[in-house]
Structure 1
């Protein structure tokens, strides 16, 4: 085993790199910590220095018109392809280029709506999210909001953050084939994983989401045939697969490449100290933000979840000294490629928190609210 010394703030930390033939439980482990996630502290620091940032919060009125245009575009393409086989090159090309790009934009419009950033009243955001859901083909919007709010409130939490891969996923999908499968079928992992980790309360919004979606699908199939619905489904699958815009799923929170840091020897359930905890949120400032409501400004978004997408670049400009030093992703396509084919990048590369001790009462309250 190789010993590595790392110096931080005039202190020297010693690490032990496990041998290649070390037991699997030594080689494979998440970045465990009990330290708080960084966004709350940075938000307080930014507001203390730049109180005018608080004025950036609030909903963006023009977003709804863009969403309306994307939904209309998807229905027009579905109508155009109603007599085209899903196996035809034209069908697959349009589903990848237009359909996947549009449905990824709708996924992320629902993300904006989950933060109530399109309308003043939360109910109006929920209803409009059901409308934005229509070209996705399956009911999704009502469940996304509560799970995504847990991701923000308890980022990295072992029990409540369903954005994290499970240990089962990490064990079986951290090889080359597994990572290719994970990147190709990301949409299924993100859709199905939450149901196995944390259960949420079923509400009338969920029921409305299901009824409206099934009714819309039924009318479309009766009027235009199954190929039109197949276009929606294929668009959603490709939007969460090997598509440039899908790179944000991995880029946002996986600790990749140069952002990896040596792991401390596991002790008392903690592998990473406060000084050596790797950055766990990464921003991307490239051109694909134009198609994805600036979701690449992800550090900014987690710091201020109630600032709409149009004002995130302004936040970064105001508080540039807080964001410029942070690790950045330069290419979503590059992230997908490096994640799959670079051995150091695996599903283990996520920061996890031992949330049971910190949030036990909140978990009990969550269970009581759902009962």
Structure 2
């Protein structure tokens, strides 16, 4: 079903995905016998208020292989590799935020103007920097690993809290082991499911998304600190100290408030929910968005495309989609990030539980894909 080229919609219309009843969720199990017929058979219905537990492989590796087989020009056209434009945008947005922070140093903190600037300008700018760090995490701003790390530390400055080093490792695990319980820290925990699985809980979750994404990884899967983490921490603390020492505390308060709004009830923040939450009982684990807000968000809305080919920079994701329309135009996509937040809150059949999970394997193998490995993440880990 192609949302963009038909009258179908995720939010309305005769064939809406929102008006149908949730069908019993079933896990897909392949018959494990010597006389395997090669077909998939539905398992028993699962609790609709629980996560969707699957026994199938995450979909992106198999689709990546299928696209590379059907379109070998993915390599020929050199879609993979870094995007030089990224560093200039990062420089511009960081400069904008520092200028705004300094300008507002004499503005009353609780004034409507201060909050408006932090929400409309700061929230949008810092959300852009969150996604710049996401792009840089895949080493797509420079050819080498360390220049990308340095740029991510620089992009981190207006966010106010050091996080880019930890985000890198958690995010790479999200790609390699998507949906695996206890490894993919993008997944809500069972405690979140128990406490927030209602309208008020979802309002709380959507309002404080950024705090959940910041704190959850440390409880689920802690990281070993490296010189890279320490460098990120020290540079950020020194920057925050100098900012307060030179201009007072209000500029830092503006930056921190901007970061909060960037991951709260902000139009751009809808992508946090839109990307991997399940809608109307479908077992599609990743959803894309092709609307205008991608201009402010490094095309992160092209999320199926990004997970299929994490080494393709943001400027070339639309080209990738156009190259393989038979794979992407048939996938339902979200027409609006703001409406994702609204419908996440109001729809009883979409909640914290609407995520696909897999049991972590006892020995999780390395994903052997030249496309993923091309990100030099293995080299980056070794260098730390």
- TM-score bracket relative to the smaller structure: 0.7 to 0.9
Aligned to 1:39: 60
SS in 2 for 1:355: coil
Alignment of 1:247 with 2:252, yes or no, is no
Summarize the Cα distance change of 1:157–1:11 in structure 2 as closer, same or farther, 3 Å threshold. Answer: closer
> By how many angstroms is 1:134 displaced?
0.3
Summarize the Cα distance change of 1:138–1:14 in structure 2 as closer, same or farther, 3 Å threshold. Answer: closer
Quick one: which of 123, 127, 130 aligns to 1:107?
A: 130
Summarize the Cα distance change of 1:40–1:354 in structure 2 as closer, same or farther, 3 Å threshold. Answer: same
Summarize the Cα distance change of 1:253–1:16 in structure 2 as closer, same or farther, 3 Å threshold. Answer: closer
**TM-score by structure 1 length?**
0.86
Quick one: which of 125, 132, 137 aligns to 2:160?
A: 137
1:257-287 residue CA offsets vs partner (Å, 9 max, x unmatched): 3xx14xxxxxxxxxxxxxxxx1000000000
**Structure 1 or 2: more helix by fraction:** 1
> By how many angstroms is 1:356 displaced?
3.2
Gap runs ≥5 in structure 2: 1-21, 29-38, 368-381
Gap runs ≥5 in structure 1: 18-25, 262-277, 363-368
**TM-score by structure 2 length?**
0.83
SS in 1 for 2:126: helix
Alignment of 1:335 with 2:340, yes or no, is yes
Alignment of 1:302 with 2:307, yes or no, is yes
Q: How many residues align?
A: 335
Q: Confirm or deny: 8 A CA contact 1:154 1:161 kept in the other structure.
A: yes
SS in 1 for 2:82: coil
SS in 1 for 2:354: coil
Summarize the Cα distance change of 1:361–1:27 in structure 2 as closer, same or farther, 3 Å threshold. Answer: same
Q: Confirm or deny: 8 A CA contact 1:100 1:237 kept in the other structure.
A: yes
Alignment of 1:352 with 2:357, yes or no, is yes
1:179-201 residue CA offsets vs partner (Å, 9 max, x unmatched): 00000000000000000111222
Aligned to 2:297: 292
Cα distance in 2 for residues equivalent to 1:181 and 1:248: 17
Alignment of 1:56 with 2:79, yes or no, is yes
Alignment of 1:228 with 2:233, yes or no, is no
Query: CA RMSD, aligned part only?
Result: 2.4
Aligned to 2:284: 279
1:216-235 residue CA offsets vs partner (Å, 9 max, x unmatched): 11111111111100000000
Answer with 218-227 or 350-359: which moved more: 350-359
Summarize the Cα distance change of 1:279–1:129 in structure 2 as closer, same or farther, 3 Å threshold. Answer: same
> By how many angstroms is 1:294 displaced?
0.0
Summarize the Cα distance change of 1:5–1:237 in structure 2 as closer, same or farther, 3 Å threshold. Answer: closer
Answer with 351-360 or 100-109: which moved more: 351-360
> By how many angstroms is 1:84 displaced?
1.0
